[in-house]
Chain A
């Protein structure tokens, strides 16, 4: 009886394996080192000014892992961590962190999302989107003009990477 069950089970597994034999492998785009330098170049040219270079930037990849970090001269001890969290928030929620900030504000149904580790309800995080595919996130801190300025800078950087990935 047991043996019969085993045989049936085995046959079932074989049939299942056969049906998976032709399953497609997963191929995903991810950010390259060269594209990180394109991003840093965009930050320098489009966000920094000759008299103001004190901007921190972090790039996370598709997995939300840090792929690039740059702390400017005279940066504060919290800058990199905060900027990473902006990038991570943009990546994981697939939307600008300033939008997520407003969507999860006190009293809203999604307020609880703010308890997630590594997120931060502050503007300056932006997803890197190639079509509908999110391939990473950019975080920016310290742009003169506050969170909306950080957001706009992060958008420019994210789009410069996405343009290279298309």
Chain B
């Protein structure tokens, strides 16, 4: 036991030395640069998605890379839950880096991942789509209240994202 502890402290020392070595040249380390969705792009997404789903008045949320609201617009005659639901769909897509419909399938009851559904703010319903640039998720879109339900909501979210895809690199 004592020997193990001795080994442990030697290991810790070696690790600290390695960390210090890593930090010292780190003064010249590159700052982390992260893509994020801009408010102008969010506005384009919202306009195009609303137009794609124009046979009903949808509620829509665009989240940034941190999962915070960038732009949110409620539909005409929306139910009290619609705007919040659109946000949760987007949050689900953002944080799991996949469509909320795909995540709902993956976490279905009986599945090993079912427990993920106990997280707050997620929702196992279709309509949320991540905004992906070169494999990096920079935000997400969620829609609620479309005519045609969840598949249509997902399609309109995708239409909105497609409108800015050319601006993303």
Contacts and interface: CB of A to CB of B under 8 A. Distances in A.
Interface residues on B, range: 10 to 19
Contacts of A68: 72-74
Contacts of B74: 33, 36, 61, 65-68
Interface string B115-150: 000000000000000000000000000000000000
A34 B75 CA distance: 9
B83 A66 contact: yes
Interface stretch (A72-80, A100-108, A114-122): A72-80
Contacts of B64: 71
A33 B39 contact: no
Contact of A71 (B57, B70, B83): B70
B87 to A, nearest CB: 10
Contacts of B83: 66-67
A70 interface: yes
Given A65-B80, A71-B39, A36 B68 contact: no
B130 to A, nearest CB: 19
Contacts of B111: none
B69 interface: yes
Contacts of B76: 32-34
A80 B75 contact: no
A77 B66 CA distance: 10
B75 A33 contact: yes
A152 interface: no
Interface string A41-81: 00000000000010000000100011111111100010010
Given A33-B76, A36-B73, A80-B69, A72 B57 contact: no
7 contacts: A33-B73, A67-B83, A68-B73, A69-B69, A70-B39, A73-B36, A80-B68
Interface of B: 36, 38-39, 42-43, 50, 57, 64, 68-76, 80, 83
